[in-house]
Amino acid sequence: MIRTFGSRAGRLSKTNKHFLQLESDCLLDLDKYIKKSSRDVLIDIGFGDGISLSQDIINNSEILFIGIETYKKGISRMIEFYETKQIKNLLLHNGCAKEFIENLKTKVKFVRIHFPDPWPKNKHSKRRLVSINFLQLLAQIMKPDGLIQIITDSNVYQQHIKEVLRKQNFFEQISIFPINYAVSTFHKKGMKKNHKIKEFNLKVKII
């Protein structure tokens, strides 16, 4: 299995380090059981700095968000958000998305992957998160009415995703994803560069 990379530190402030040292209830290890909830579950893979995710959590209190991010700074900011705002609908995992999903026992309603690393060079294409194998993995943990949203401003990645979707048989494309999202830092950068931003909205295929 090609990992989506484990936890990464980068430059951390004293505040970042403080919140990372907390044994926050929102943190999930691979073997930590997710309590049953009446809320639908949304997995957000690669939420970055967490600015848009924070707003989405506030705007969608009826949804339980599970944020997965490799970078500790983003995780730290979301722990701070969770602890200071007394958030009730957020869980976090700092590590590899594929490993987390492989160990997940909970069925989820929504998955979103916004602006994943495009790995534009051909020699790095196997590192791209979106693949037939990954879609198959997602299909195994999703509810029958499960939905996925993938957004990218990379033309290379857009073409890659189109090819993956053409070859797979787990999901079919739909026009609209029902959960609105706040515009993220990466989304703003893409718009500033006049990149074409493409949404791929998918639902579980009934076979």
Q: How far apart are CA 125 and CA 99, in angstroms?
A: 19
Three-state DSSP state, 56: helix
Q: How far apart are CA 47 and CA 126, in angstroms?
A: 21
Q: How far apart are CA 162 and CA 137, in angstroms?
A: 18
Phi first, then psi, for residue 21 (nearest 5°) are: -80, -15
Collect all residues with Cβ–Cβ distance below 8 Å to 159 and sequence separation of at least 6: none
**Among 25, 31, 56, 117, the one annotated catalytic:** 117
Could you write out the DSSP letters of every residue in 108-139? EEEEEEES-----SGGGGGG-S--HHHHHHHH
Strand partners, 68: 45, 93
Q: Is 31 a catalytic residue?
A: no
Residue type, 147: L
- What count of residues does the chain have? 207
Cβ-count burial of 127 within 10 angstroms (0-12 exposed, 13-18 middle, 19+ buried)? middle
Residues with catalytic roles: 117
